[in-house]
Amino acid sequence: MKTGFLFWLKSTRPWSFPASTMPVVLTAAYLFFLQQTNEISVNWWWLPLVFIAVVVYHAGLNMISDLNDFKTGVDHEHSPGYKSPLVNGEISEKKWKKVAIAILAFGTGLGIILTLQCGWHLLWIGGIGLIAGYFYHVFKKYTLGDLLIFVIFGVLTVQGTFYVLTSELSIVALYLSIPVGLITSAILHANYTRDIVHDLQSGVKTQAGMVGLRNAKLEYAVLVFGGYLAVVLLVVFKVLPYLSLLVLLTLPIGLSNVKTMFKVTKESIDPILSLDESTAKLQLAFTGLLSLGIFVQSLLI
């Protein structure tokens, strides 16, 4: 079978990239806001390279995750959700791994360039993200998948972007990562909840599987509504400008997703078969509107 550019592009699961790129957008919008108040100096020249590096890392780690799930039997022809070309026998494990490693090597090269230009702290930020992502299948197996996604796509991505553009580490970046990290974690949690029975049969102890279906539903609601609550609190404590509350316009979408989650039963997972996709769309709208509100506020200063 042909394995051209489109084949490999699809294999990286590009529809998942907003999970990593939108935190970069949010951080850039917030730095633009800070710049208007003369609180910080921002080197915008590095922003395009940050986007590229984040996408490249995400692509490579997606492929490594799919490889590990295939090798351990978690993904097979009867498993729910997305199935990589490995499952269908379209490509060999050896070639798949070579391409994944090559992508990660390219991303590491970009990271080294940014480290040399912006400071050594990026070395441990990117290193933790790479190692944690590479061994994600191990963390997932022992109930730490949700936390890992929050750290990688929330804390590390926001702090890393902030550092590259300013050469400074910031506690404010940590605060900023909380809402987007919670919403992004909800994407994975929706996936885990759908796959509770399948994952337990495969020996994978996800958070959803360990707490049970009822509590998994509650956790999803906490993650989604927690994202909105975090924004409100950050506005109240003047970390975020008041126009950040534009994000509340996406609340009906979040509420609809939570209602969908609570329709699932032990007898049927049909209501949430595509909830991970719906949550990804919520994350895109949530982070996009939050970024827009911050940006518009910047123009009004």
Calpha distance 75→61 (Å, rounded): 16
pLDDT band at 146 (very low <50, low <70, confident <90, very high): confident
Please give the pLDDT value at position 196.
82
Nearest by Cα to 158 from 142, 192, 182, 131: 182
Residue range 67-88: mean pLDDT, rounded = 79
Contact 145, 192 (CB under 8 A): yes
Tokens standing for residue 210: 């360990």
Calpha distance 290→247 (Å, rounded): 5
Calpha distance 238→271 (Å, rounded): 39
Calpha distance 3→9 (Å, rounded): 10
Calpha distance 225→47 (Å, rounded): 30
Q: 34: helix, coil or strand?
A: helix
- Rounded to an integer, what is the distance from CA 43 to the centroid of its chain? 25
Calpha distance 40→18 (Å, rounded): 27
Selected residue with higher pLDDT from 198 and 276? 276
Enter the DSSP assignment of 46.
G
Q: Classify residue 170 as exposed, middle or buried by CB count within 10 Å of its CB (0-12, 13-18, 19+).
A: middle
pLDDT band at 2 (very low <50, low <70, confident <90, very high): low
pLDDT digits 0-9 by tens, 111-138: 999 999 999 999 999 999 999 999 988 8
Could you write out the DSSP letters of every residue in 226-258?
A: HHHHHHHHHHHTTSS-GGGGGGGGGHHHHHHHH
Calpha distance 145→272 (Å, rounded): 19
pLDDT band at 105 (very low <50, low <70, confident <90, very high): very high
Question: Mean pLDDT of all residues in the chain?
Answer: 91
Alpha helices per DSSP H over 79-120: 93-118
What percentage of the chain carries pLDDT values higher than 70? 97
32-36, 145-149, 164-168: which range is least confident on average? Answer: 145-149
What percentage of the chain carries pLDDT values higher than 90? 70
Contact 204, 141 (CB under 8 A): yes
Please give the pLDDT value at position 81.
65
Quote the crossing angle between the two packed helices 275-299 and 251-261, to the nearest 10°. 160
Cα-Cα-Cα-Cα dihedral sign, residues 125, 84, 5, 274: negative
pLDDT digits 0-9 by tens, 242-282: 999 999 999 999 999 999 999 988 888 888 889 999 999 99
124-133, 141-150, 213-222: which range is least confident on average? Answer: 141-150
Contact 111, 46 (CB under 8 A): no
pTM across the whole model: 0.93
